[in-house]
């Protein structure tokens, strides 16, 4: 781990920290059977039956894993 040779001033350390910014989450809106759902792009989604029991995971219309 890098160890600083000298102590940084408060102003410098706070200026460095101020460069970190949070980015908003990008959601994809999909409509299935009249129901609107939002999901993260490029992620597998859980396919559920009518009772809400998870059946399997799907990505781009293909089954990728059992739930």
- Which two three-digit tokens encode residue 48? 């559920």
How many Å is the Cα radius of gyration of the chain? 22
What is the pTM assigned to this prediction? 0.48
pLDDT of residue 55: 94
Distance CA 37, CA 52 (A): 14
Write down the domain spans for the chain: 43-67
pLDDT of residue 51: 92
Distance CA 41, CA 43 (A): 6
pLDDT tens by residue, 11-67: 888 887 777 888 888 998 988 788 898 888 888 888 889 898 999 999 888 999 987
Tell me which H or E stretch contains 16.
helix 10-17
């Amino acid at each position: 781990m890098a160890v600083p040779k000298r102590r940084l001033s408060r102003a410098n350390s706070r200026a460095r920290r101020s460069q970190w910014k949070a980015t908003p989450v990008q959601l994809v809106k999909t409509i299935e059977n009249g129901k609107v759902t939002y999901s993260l792009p490029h992620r597998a989604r859980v396919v559920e039956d009518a009772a809400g029991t998870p059946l399997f995971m799907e990505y781009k219309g293909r089954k990728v894993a059992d739930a």
